[in-house]
Every structure is written in structure tokens, then in C-alpha cells.
């Protein structure tokens, strides 16, 4: 493990195509997947300083590393349920995290959800899932299809789906 | 894009959504809304982890949809034991329906139905009602229809700025359902069934001068079939036992105001009181109405 005199020991996360991102071990250890890959609990032990994140592309991994580095300095406040507001900004009040999420396009947002899940980074998963949830709140099935880029159901498929979930329409 | 999401990530997204949002997701595509095969269902459980065991769920022949499984995970991992006791799943009931019930259980209590023009909300607050008419002869009713209680323990607190006449209780949701009431001032209790009205042994009431500083509570325990009355967290006693079915909170007020609030189950909720001997004399509706009227006018 390399040592940065200011940040302590560092490691490199390697993307699917081989691009490397260096960050403090403490920041990286927020990822349970990274911790498991390193196979140690004590950051003073000697071990490899590269961890391959084979399922995550370079642009996405770069954003993940950005998140991890910032989180180490300024942790995301816990997102409690039931939600304390109706919009993303009402729930996540920390400006940096608001801008982090708003600054990515839809495909990148979905990639971050997947990456956060794969890398087992709970705060990032909570943050990105919340943003997706807020986009889906109050939307009809048709509007959700547009957001998630889902093909339309045939009339027969839609009729069956409504029949399967009749209880809510009966209410 | 939907292919980006597996069952674990959908659980993360859905944990912030209300039940009807899950239904809308289920309506978007077969991947979210159609029953999975058995093998896929086992994979879903493997991916999501298993909160409470569902291994004995015999209705899972065709497998659950992703949204059903998500709703099940939410109900079983994000609710308290007390909450789950209130919403037992009925047969092969949709898990999204159960999740919907869980959400309703968490909403603040309000009076979502008012009898007529004689009662209104105070400053638009649906948990606080008052009478429009000043006549002491008119009882105005209000109900919490959104909160249907069918199992477990439920506790509601009531507060008023003054008497003269308030009755609160539970109302059965079926057409021939029973009504159990407690009159705040006199402590008079009654059971209204299909055969008539039965006066029950009353408990302590409250003086008019202490009404505004008093919190009345009703504990409906559908596991033990009892309705108990509390005054400022002090248990006064069980006014009715042998209760079963589905109920809502209901009140009648006359010449005053009343607010309702969902409160934590009292610590002594599991205390087993012996329900005092109750009068078995059944009054006709007319005779008991006279009794109520006398109370109202006193």
C-alpha cells in the first residue's frame, strides 16, 4: 500500500478497462467489496494496493471515487424513512451531495446505482436510489416507462397487469 | 435502463416509495409486475436476502413479481414486531396491499369523515374537530375511516378544550358491526350491537374544569379482544372484552372540540385486567338514547 503523507495509506481502484484511481484506504474502505478484496481489518497490514472493480466502467468509477473521497471528509447524513420531505433537496440538505447527484445524467445515475450496489457502498446506494425514487414519485406507469426507457406493454399485457393488482383500483 | 436494476437495487429504490408507486412500477413492464418462475423467485430471495422467513409460503407456486417481493421485503424488514402484528397477511393477499396497510398504520390519525354540517375542522386541521352548532342537544359524529384496525394493538389519544359531551370509541366496519363508546365526563360506557344497546359498567370520568389538561386514551387490543380506557397515561380499566372484527375510531361531540392523535402503545398494554362484571341488560335503542340524552343535558 502506498502512503500519502497527508492522507495516510492509499490504494488504487481499477476500472473494467484498466484505468486506475488512487484514493486513501480509509475512503475506499467505505466499500465493503473493497474491504473484502483486501482481506484485512487493520490498515497497517501489508497487502496489495490495487483492487479491480471489474463491473464498473471508468467514468462511473471516477464518480464513485469522487464520492468516496468527499465522504471521508464530510459524511452524508443518514437518509431516514419515512422521508422528511417531498423532494430530493428536502431530504438531502448537504449541498455537495445535491450537486453530485444533479450533476450526472440519467444513464450515469443508473450506473451509479448499480456500482454502489456492486461495491456495497451503502451511503452512495441510498443517495442514488433516493434520487431515482424522487424521479418516480407521483408518476404514472406510462411516465415511469419514459424515465426508465421501458417499452410499452401490449393492451393485453396491461389489462392482465391491472387485473393482477386490482386491489388498489378497487380502493 | 431497467436492466440496470436487479432485485436488490429495486429494493433500495422502492424503500423510499409508497405502495401505490410500487403498483405503478409493476404496471410498467413484465419484469417488474409479472409473476416470476420458481427458479427466478429463489434467485430473487437469494439476491435480496431473506428478512423474515417465507419458506412456508404455500401460495408461492408461481413465484412473486419483483414488486411483490420488494413489498414483502419492505414489510418484513422495515416494520416493527408491533406493526406486523397489526397487519397479518390474509391468505394470498398481495404484499403490496399489506405494505399499503403498513403505511396507513403510520399515517397520523385524522377524522376523514364528518357526519354532517354540524361539525367542522378547526383551522383546516383534520385531526381537530369542533361543533358548528351551539345546541347542547345535538351530537355530531366523526370517524377515522382510513385507519381500519383488524389485529394487534392500537392506541389513540384524545384531547379537548372543554366538555360538555364527548363520546369516543370503536365502530365495527361491517353493516352489523358493533360500536363501543366511552363518555368522557360521566365515564358511562355502552356497547351497541344488532340486538340493542348494552350499558356497560362505567369507569372514571373527568370534571369539566380538568378536561383541557386531560389526555384520554383508548387501547384497542384485538389480540386479546379488549378495549381499555386511559386517562393521562393511567389505565382506568377495560370497558369491553370479547371484541373481534374490524374497527375504526369514532367520536361524537356536542358543544365542544376534540382532537385525535396516534400515540405509543402504553407500557402496561399487556396487563391482563379482569373485565369487571358487565350489566347484561339490553336496553332498547330508545331507552339508551334517553340515557345518552340525559347525560348530554346534565
Task: Give, rounded to a whole angstrom, the gap between the first and last alpha carbons of chain B.
Answer: 69
Counting as low any pLDDT under 70, the low residues of chain B are 1-4, 36-63, 133-137, 163-164, 175-177, 270-298
- Closest chain B CA to residue A124: B12
Q: Which residues of B touch A81 (CB under 8 A)?
A: 15-16, 78
DSSP string, A37-60: HHT-S-TTS---SEEE-TTS-HHH
Look at residue B164 in the predicted model and tell me its pLDDT.
Answer: 56
pLDDT digits (tens, 9 = 90+) for A109-139: 999 999 999 999 999 999 999 999 999 988 9
The C-alpha atoms of residue A26 and residue B194 are separated, in whole angstroms, by 70
Q: Which residue has the cell 409493476?
A: B26
Nearest Cα to Cα of residue B158 among B133, B200, B132, B127: B127
User: Is the pTM higher than 0.95?
Assistant: no
**How much is the pLDDT for B128?**
95
Q: Does A153 touch chain B (CB under 8 A)?
A: yes
| Residue B70, pLDDT score | 86
pLDDT in tens, B130-185: 988 665 567 889 999 988 999 999 999 999 887 657 788 888 887 666 888 888 88
> Are residues A136 and B9, on separate chains, in Cβ contact within 8 Å?
no
ipTM over 0.85: no
Cβ of A129 within 8 Å of Cβ of B15? The answer is yes
Candidates A81, A107, A113; nearest CB to B9? A113
- Are B40 and B62 contacting, i.e. CB atoms less than 8 angstroms apart? no
With beta carbons less than 8 A apart as the criterion, state whether B1 and A148 touch. yes
Binary contact (A114, B9; C-beta < 8 A): yes
Q: Which residues of B touch A140 (CB under 8 A)?
A: 24
What's the pLDDT score for residue B162? 76
pLDDT at residue A91 in the model: 94
Do residue B24 and residue A82 have CB atoms under 8 angstroms apart?
no
The residue of chain A nearest to residue B18, with distances taken between CA atoms, is A137
Interface of A with B in 46-105 (CB under 8 A): 79, 81-83
Q: Which residues of chain A, if any, have pLDDT below 50?
A: 4, 45-46, 171
pLDDT at B65: 81
Instruction: Give the β-pairing of B165-172 and B179-183.
Output: antiparallel
Amino acid at each position: 500500500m502506498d502512503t500519502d503523507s497527508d492522507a495516510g495509506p492509499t490504494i488504487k481502484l481499477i476500472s473494467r478497462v484498466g484505468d486506475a484511481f488512487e484514493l486513501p484506504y480509509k475512503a475506499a474502505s467505505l466499500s465493503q467489496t473493497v474491504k473484502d478484496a483486501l482481506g484485512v481489518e487493520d490498515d497497517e497490514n501489508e497487502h496489495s494496493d490495487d483492487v479491480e472493480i471489474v463491473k464498473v466502467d471508468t467514468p462511473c468509477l471516477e464518480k464513485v471515487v469522487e464520492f468516496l473521497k468527499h465522504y471521508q471528509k464530510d459524511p452524508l447524513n443518514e437518509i431516514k424513512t419515512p422521508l422528511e420531505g417531498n423532494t430530493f433537496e428536502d431530504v438531502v440538505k448537504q449541498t455537495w451531495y445535491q450537486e453530485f447527484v444533479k450533476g450526472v445524467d440519467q444513464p450515469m445515475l443508473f450506473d451509479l446505482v448499480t456500482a454502489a450496489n456492486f461495491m456495497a457502498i451503502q451511503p452512495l446506494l441510498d443517495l442514488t436510489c433516493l434520487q431515482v425514487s424522487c424521479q418516480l414519485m407521483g408518476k404514472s406507469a406510462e411516465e415511469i416507462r419514459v424515465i426508465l426507457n421501458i417499452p410499452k406493454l401490449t393492451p393485453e399485457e396491461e389489462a392482465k397487469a391491472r387485473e393482477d393488482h386490482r386491489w388498489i383500483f378497487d380502493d | 435502463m431497467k436492466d440496470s436494476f436487479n432485485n436488490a437495487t429495486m429494493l433500495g429504490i422502492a424503500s423510499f416509495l409508497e405502495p401505490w408507486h410500487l403498483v405503478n412500477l409493476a404496471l410498467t413492464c413484465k419484469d417488474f409486475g409479472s409473476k416470476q418462475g420458481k427458479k427466478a423467485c429463489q434467485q430473487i430471495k437469494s439476491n435480496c436476502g431473506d428478512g423474515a422467513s417465507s419458506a412456508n409460503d404455500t401460495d408461492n407456486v408461481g413465484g412473486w413479481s419483483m414488486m411483490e417481493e420488494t413489498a414483502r421485503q419492505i414489510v418484513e424488514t422495515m416494520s416493527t414486531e408491533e406493526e406486523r402484528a397489526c397487519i397479518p397477511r390474509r391468505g394470498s393477499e398481495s404484499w403490496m396491499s399489506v405494505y399499503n396497510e403498513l403505511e396507513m398504520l403510520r399515517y397520523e390519525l385524522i377524522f376523514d369523515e364528518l357526519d354532517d354540517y354540524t361539525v367542522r375542522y378547526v383551522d383546516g386541521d383534520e385531526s381537530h374537530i369542533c361543533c358548528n352548532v351551539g345546541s347542547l342537544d345535538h351530537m355530531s359524529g366523526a370517524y377515522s375511516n382510513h385507519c381500519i384496525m383488524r389485529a394487534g394493538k392500537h392506541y389513540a389519544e384524545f384531547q379537548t378544550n372543554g366538555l360538555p359531551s364527548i363520546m369516543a370509541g370503536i365502530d365495527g366496519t361491517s353493516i352489523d358491526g358493533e360500536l363501543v363508546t366511552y363518555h368522557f365526563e360521566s365515564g358511562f360506557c355502552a356497547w351497541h350491537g344488532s340486538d340493542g344497546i348494552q350499558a356497560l359498567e362505567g369507569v372514571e370520568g373527568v370534571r369539566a374544569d380538568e378536561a383541557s389538561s386531560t389526555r384520554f386514551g383508548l387501547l384497542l387490543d384485538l389480540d386479546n379482544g379488549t378495549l381499555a380506557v386511559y386517562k393521562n397515561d393511567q389505565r382506568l380499566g377495560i370497558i369491553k372484552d370479547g371484541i373481534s372484527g374490524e374497527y375504526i375510531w369514532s367520536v361524537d361531540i356536542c358543544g365542544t372540540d376534540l382532537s385525535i392523535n396516534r400515540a405509543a402503545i402504553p407500557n402496561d398494554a399487556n396487563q391482563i385486567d379482569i373485565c369487571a362484571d358487565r350489566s347484561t341488560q339490553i336496553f332498547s335503542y330508545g331507552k339508551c338514547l334517553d340515557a345518552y340524552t340525559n347525560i348530554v343535558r346534565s
